[in-house]
Structure 1
Amino acid sequence: MQPLLQFDDMSFAYASGRTGDGAPSPKAGSVASPPVPAGGGVPAAPDAPAAPAAPGVAGAPTPSLPPGLFHVNLAVRPGDFVMLTGPSGAGKSTLLRLAVRLEEADAGVVRCGGRPVAEIPPAELRRTLGFVQQTPTVGAGTVRDNLLLPFSFAANKGLTPPDDAELAGWLARFRLAGVGLDATAAALSVGQRQRVCIIRTMLLRPAALLMDEPTSALDPESSGVVEALTEELNEDGVTVLMVTHGAYRPARRPWRDVRVQDGGVREVAVALPDDADAAAMAAGGAA
């Protein structure tokens, strides 16, 4: 099966003043990545002995090298539910930003459906890979105005906007039946706004949802709703790639725990919903 999203020998060095999961800042220029051991990770400094790597981790951090992601290889298959875990600043959010071209790789290739993302028109890429940010953003106007916003863009002019009945159906599915389409979007709670943002993304029928800590700003109840709904969408065939710092792991869906650390990625666990041993291993790996 061809991966839906693939990082092939991809490297990305952070600009001065930014971290892997921080706010974007302009890059001073492309930084060539030095050679690394097979499997990816941050290499040792030139002419210096390589630091011993922990079991299962390729390479070790070296202060003389720019922080970043080096020679990353990761394949996300259609229908996967992938949890990106690891320490803050390791590059989890950066992987999502590279996928939707909010950042550009310094080396290697990021592919979507077998095609380099650099060759895919931006509007097509954003329709294929729906991006949900950490902080929900709604504009002025009603809930309806915000849900229909993508259909007002010139790049989506060929798409038929959903009618009120379809929008109301999405609101009901996302536990927002009490929120009217004419309600002021800015007056909603943070949890409600995040669900509106996810609906807005789903209205374009993406093949995948790329979610950057979608529950980090939510209370426990709202977090539980978003997590359960994300599992429902995955059950419907939507691929999910979610950045998380928390303890959440899918309860009803098979999932992969991919840890981002020391400039590389490694698979910590592949688990079924009732796979307690794998879940425990994943929780330990994310500690």
Structure 2
Amino acid sequence: MAFFEIRELTVSYRRNGVTFEPFNSISFELSEGQIADLIGTSGSGKSSLLCACACLLPNTSGSLLLKEVSSNSLSPEEWRKRVCYVPQKPTVIPGTVRDNLLLPWSFRVRRNDTPPSDTELRLLMDEASLGEVNLDRDAAQLSGGELARVALLRAFATKPNVLLLDEVDAALDDASARAVSNLTRRLVRNDTACLRIRHRPPDGAADRMFKLEHGTITQLNCTDKGV
């Protein structure tokens, strides 16, 4: 049984007044505990694919299944609690690191959920090698690499089944990108999978690699260079 399945997925939208389909009827799947890299040239539809997987785009057809449960059987909000999209630029709100980590629990969709305790947050911070960063620290004082890890921890703290990472290491230096990669590998365990857009060379964290090009998706060897 596949953990996360994408079947015959098609996206269309208006671009310069003309209907445009970045991809049509693409299918692939992810296994539990697996990280897959998604590569392709600019404009090939990679971000659209991630957004479609999170039910963030209109005019989408096809099937999305998580542990054999269809996205059509859940509200978009409930689906996004299980399939979490993390954009390239971290969302930072004024306040402390704690405030930023607990941001998802300020939204209506999680009003009945219990937020993680400080102890749980500290354990996550330790996973990200941020043990020296105080939860009361002003988030505006964090470096770009630290913010990227906080954004990833914030997503993971909501305990999604699927993480969709939209080139979260794009603006980072090599050392910070490695830290984010290592954190992703540590966090993706049982009952979790990850699809991430990357343009950097393979870092050894991915189990699979897909290339989206000319509207089709193909699987590559993980040692192939990104584009």
- The TM-score with structure 1 as length reference comes to 0.73
Change in Cα spacing, 1:72 to 1:105, as seen in structure 2 (3 Å) is farther
Deviations 1:21-43 (A, max 9, x none): xxxxxxx79x5xxxxxxxxxxxx
Where do 1:23-42 residues align within 5 Å?
none
Please, which of 211, 218, 226 is the counterpart of residue 259 of structure 1? 211
Match of 2:149 in 1: 195
**Residue 188 of structure 2: SS of its match in structure 1?**
helix
Please, which of 11, 35, 57 is the counterpart of residue 103 of structure 1? 57
**Whose RCO is larger (CA < 8 A, sep 6+)?**
2
C-alpha displacement at 1:127, in angstroms?
Answer: 1.8
C-alpha displacement at 1:168, in angstroms?
Answer: 1.5
Query: Which amino acid is 2:195 matched to?
Result: L
Kept in 1, the 8 Å contact 2:82–2:161? The answer is yes
Match of 1:250 in 2: 204
**Residue 15 of structure 2: SS of its match in structure 1?**
coil
Please, which of 170, 175, 179 is the counterpart of residue 216 of structure 1? 170
Query: Which amino acid is 2:84 matched to?
Result: G
Kept in 2, the 8 Å contact 1:130–1:209? The answer is yes
CA–CA separation in structure 2 for the residues paired with 1:212 and 1:258: 14
Going by fraction, where is strand more abundant, 1 or 2?
Answer: 2
Where do 1:142-221 residues align within 5 Å?
142-221=96-175
Q: Which of the pair has more CA radius of gyration?
A: 1
Percent identical pairs in the alignment equals 31
**Residue 14 of structure 2: SS of its match in structure 1?**
coil
Match of 2:4 in 1: 5
CA–CA separation in structure 1 for the residues paired with 2:27 and 2:116: 38
Where do 1:248-287 residues align within 5 Å?
248-251=202-205, 255-269=207-221, 279=223, 282-283=224-225, 286-287=226-227
C-alpha displacement at 1:267, in angstroms?
Answer: 0.9
Give the RMSD, CA atoms, in angstroms: 2.0
CA–CA separation in structure 1 for the residues paired with 2:199 and 2:121: 32
Kept in 1, the 8 Å contact 2:156–2:187? The answer is no
**Residue 175 of structure 2: SS of its match in structure 1?**
helix
Kept in 1, the 8 Å contact 2:52–2:60? The answer is no
Q: Return 5+ residue gaps in structure 1 as ranges.
A: 18-27, 32-65, 272-278
C-alpha displacement at 1:92, in angstroms?
Answer: 1.1
CA–CA separation in structure 2 for the residues paired with 1:186 and 1:118: 39
1:239 and 2:193 correspond: yes
After the TM superposition, which segments of 4 or more aligned residues of structure 1 sit over 6 Å from their partners? Answer: none
Match of 2:68 in 1: 114
CA–CA separation in structure 2 for the residues paired with 1:232 and 1:99: 23
- The TM-score with structure 2 as length reference comes to 0.91
CA–CA separation in structure 1 for the residues paired with 2:98 and 2:22: 40
Kept in 2, the 8 Å contact 1:10–1:105? The answer is no
Deviations 1:126-151 (A, max 9, x none): 22112211111110111111111212
Change in Cα spacing, 1:134 to 1:176, as seen in structure 2 (3 Å) is same
CA–CA separation in structure 2 for the residues paired with 1:125 and 1:13: 21
Query: Which amino acid is 1:107 matched to?
Result: S
The alignment covers a number of residue pairs equal to 227
